[in-house]
């Protein structure tokens, strides 16, 4: 007897098959949504801005990091350019890329402390002392590593702001003379 014949012979089986199929669709949808948010935490920003309490899920392994990243303050490259042009001294610009990437191109006035060092607990005291009473602005190539660095620094009691789009956005929108072959 085929599966179709078995289902037709027992109406209750139709419901069970339908429910199990629906459950599978729901599970796949949830997994897809979680992965989308994990890959692009900015998808959560409208919820945060609307006041939806996401703190409950911030301890969940996959969503927690995405929620922390989405709640992180951000700055555009235009805002950073205005800050640099104003000759302000109340900020520290932190580059968390590798030394090789930093040598190739960097935003003027930035200080290099690679994410790899922060992952190993190195550089945190240096950043703490540099950022006392000053706004910490972190960047990388596009924003992922700087977000990770700021999550690590936040755990150490240091708050910071992520530069949206990183040096890639800086090069595209502010200083096109910088080399583009490092991303």
Tell me which of 89 and 37 has the higher pLDDT: 89
* Residue limits of CATH 3.40.250.10 in the chain: 73-173
Instruction: Mention every residue, 6+ apart, whose C-beta is less than 8 A from residue 87.
Output: none
Q: Are 166 and 75 in contact (CB under 8 A)?
A: no
Q: Report pLDDT digits (tens) over 21-40.
A: 666 565 565 555 555 555 56
Q: How confident is the model at residue 180 (pLDDT cuts 50, 70, 90)?
A: confident
Tell me which of 40 and 145 has the higher pLDDT: 145
**Alpha-carbon distance 144 to 17, whole Å?**
42
Q: Are 151 and 158 in contact (CB under 8 A)?
A: no
**Alpha-carbon distance 180 to 110, whole Å?**
18
3, pLDDT greater than 90: no
Local structure of 40: helix, strand or coil: coil
Confirm or reject CATH 3.30.420.40 for domain 73-173, answering yes or no: no
Sheet holding 161-163, edge to edge: 74-75, 161-163, 135-139, 91-95, 110-112
Pull the structure tokens for residue 180: 């583009």
Pairing assessment for the beta strands 161-163 and 135-139 based on DSSP bridges? parallel
Local structure of 76: helix, strand or coil: coil
- φ and ψ at 60, to 5 degrees? -70, 140
**Alpha-carbon distance 38 to 51, whole Å?**
20
Longest dimension (CA), the chain: 81
């Amino acid at each position: 007897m085929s599966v179709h014949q078995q289902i037709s012979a027992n109406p209750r089986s139709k419901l069970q098959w339908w429910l199990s199929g629906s459950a599978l669709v729901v599970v796949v949808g949830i997994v897809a949504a979680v992965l989308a948010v994990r890959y692009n935490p900015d998808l959560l920003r409208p919820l945060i801005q609307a006041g939806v309490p996401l703190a409950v899920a911030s301890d969940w392994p996959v969503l927690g990091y995405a929620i922390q990243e989405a709640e992180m303050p951000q700055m555009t490259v235009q805002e950073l350019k205005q800050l640099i042009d104003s000759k302000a001294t109340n900020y520290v610009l932190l580059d968390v890329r590798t030394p090789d990437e930093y040598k190739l191109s960097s935003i003027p006035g930035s200080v290099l402390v690679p994410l790899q060092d922060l992952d190993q607990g190195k550089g945190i005291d240096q950043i703490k002392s540099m950022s006392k009473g000053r706004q910490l602005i972190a960047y990388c190539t596009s924003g992922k590593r700087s977000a990770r660095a700021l999550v690590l620094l936040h755990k150490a009691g240091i708050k910071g702001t992520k530069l949206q789009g990183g040096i890639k956005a800086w090069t595209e929108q502010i200083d096109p003379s910088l080399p583009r072959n490092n991303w």
